[in-house]
Amino acid sequence: MAPYFRKLRPFERGIYLSHLRALSSEDRRLRFHSITSDEQLERYAASVDFEQTVFLGAFMEGALVGAGAVALHSKTFDEAEIAVSVASQVRGHGIGGTLTRRTLRIARNRGSRSVWMFCLPDNTPMQRIARRLHGQLSLHQGTLDARLELTPATPFTRLGETFEDGVGVARSVSDLVFGRVA
């Protein structure tokens, strides 16, 4: 079954935390740039400000299998940072790339002019995604930094986000109705 994507709401913080806990220690290292314990993940999930951060989830059969986070910086949101995690069992099917593209549009629609992605030098999938999106990569203190410049939002980018939000919610409701929730 193909994944569907929708935004996570503050009351779904636990679903996001469960996704992070399910990541292997290596996947946690790649996502957070260090070895990360369950307790650290709990503190991170509890501290997320949903006013400043938008989460996009990738779902398959009702289970969260990937997540993208857009952390909007400053009061004007002119700069943002994105991070992506995908469960190892569903990698290689474009979920990470789709989450990245959609989180970029979310940042763009909120006024961000540039977005940062940070990854470790051995995280080749994220490097590949950043290069495909024309990110400018540089090595800084052991981390690869990718800066992506965004064009201003248009009515079409906003409409696209709104449409995809509706499709994601409809798919979630369908999973609930037909018992496909993990």
Domain residue ranges of the chain, discontinuous segments joined by +:
4-164
Q: pTM value?
A: 0.90
Residue 4 has pLDDT above 90, yes or no: yes
Residue 182 has pLDDT above 70, yes or no: no
> Computed from CA positions of residues 115, 14, 12, 95, in that sequence, does the dihedral angle turn out positive or negative?
positive
Q: Which fold has domain 4-164?
A: Aminopeptidase (3.40.630)
pLDDT bracket for residue 131 (50, 70, 90):
confident
Contact (CB, 8 A) for 72 and 80 = yes
* Lowest-confidence pick of 37-41, 105-109, 121-125: 121-125
CA–CA separation, 36 vs 151, rounded Å? 35
pLDDT on residue 85: 94
Q: Rounded mean pLDDT of the chain? A: 91
CB atoms within 10 A of CB 121: 10
Q: Any idea which of 12-21, 57-66, 115-124, 158-167 has the lowest mean pLDDT?
A: 115-124
Taking Cα atoms as reference points, which of 108, 85, 105 lies closest to residue 95?
85
Percent of the chain having pLDDT more than 70? 98
Determine the average pLDDT of the residues in 144-168. 94
For residue 137, the model assigns a pLDDT of: 82
**Once rounded to an integer, what is the mean pLDDT over residues 129-143?**
84
pLDDT value for 158? 97
Residue 4's identity, in one-letter code, is: Y
Kind of pairing between the strands at 114-119 and 136-140: unpaired
pLDDT tens, position by position, 81-122:
999 999 999 988 999 999 999 999 999 999 999 999 998 888
